[in-house]
Homo-oligomer: A and B are copies of this chain.
Amino acid sequence: MMVGPPEKPDLLSRRAERTRGKLVAAARTVFEGRGFLEARIVDIAKEAGVAVGSFYTYFESKEELLREVAGTLFQELIPPLPADVGPDPRARIEAGNRAYVRAYRKNARILALVQHQTLSDPTLRALYDAGRAAFIARVERSIRRLQRSGATPKDVSPRLSANILAGMVHEFCYRAFGLEDASAPRELDVDEAIAALTILWTRALVLSEPIVGANAAKKTRGNP
């Protein structure tokens, strides 16, 4: 029909990439807005500005799309600690908690949604668990190190401790941000929460008093 130079092969694939990207972005918006179950393929396509049929060009199902969306989330929760944190385990714990809490807060709705969807989507579950395992592994390594150096007691296995403490922080975020009623957010002092999590965590490992010193304690303790 149309005579002209043959289209460059990557022109098409670039268009494809764009359409695909629009769908992923739209999915996150729609999922956050109406929840995963209430999100209709039509809604996502409309939000992306493409036809429903195009959805099936790139994805097999809503689940696959959620996996795609979820894939990008986990790294953000456990970025490598900044170089300037120093070797003090207390400071490292605080930095880790701060990063986790802040990143969770930013993506709270979609994270909670992914977590819930985990129950009925084994593939997503595997993805989720892998992300979680990375977090726990880092904590576990850290505890193992502390145990070796004698800084923390050995009466609880590093594996179990890591699971429990990482879970503690995660659960706090999930409650505080993930289940938050978006229309009526609760007052919450995020820094106070990070401090509290860190204090409880370090004490649970019997790190606070001997290692951090009285000055660190003074800083966060309210009543002497």
Q: Which chain B residues border A170 with CB–CB below 8 Å?
A: 171
Q: Which of B119, B163, B175, B179 touches A35 (beta carbons < 8 Å)?
A: B119
With a 10 A CB-CB cut-off, give which of A119, A125, A174, A199 has the most chain B CB atoms. A119
> Which of A64-72, A78-86, A87-95, A200-208 lies at the interface?
A200-208
| Contacting pair B120 A164 (CB below 8 A) | no
Whether B119 pairs with A155 at a CB distance below 8 angstroms is: no
B-contact bits for A136-174, CB 8 A (1 contact / 0 none): 000000000000000001111100110111011011101
> Do B4 and A217 touch across chains, with their CB atoms under 8 A apart?
no
In the complex this chain forms, how many copies of it are found?
A: 4
Question: A196–B204 Cα gap in the complex (Å)?
Answer: 10
CB distance from A11 to the nearest CB of B (A): 11
Q: Is A220 an interface residue (CB 8 A)?
A: yes
| Interface size in chain A (residues, C-beta < 8 A) | 52
Question: Which residue in chain B gives the minimum CB-CB distance to A159?
Answer: B196
Task: State whether A120 touches B37 (Cβ < 8 A).
Answer: yes
A1, A120, A156, A220 interface centre (most CB from chain B within 10 Å): A156
A-B contact pairs, 26 of them (CB 8 A): A1-B4, A1-B5, A37-B37, A37-B120, A38-B120, A112-B119, A116-B116, A118-B179, A154-B221, A155-B216, A155-B221, A156-B199, A156-B217, A160-B196, A163-B175, A165-B168, A165-B200, A167-B172, A168-B168, A168-B171, A170-B171, A199-B204, A201-B204, A203-B205, A204-B204, A206-B209
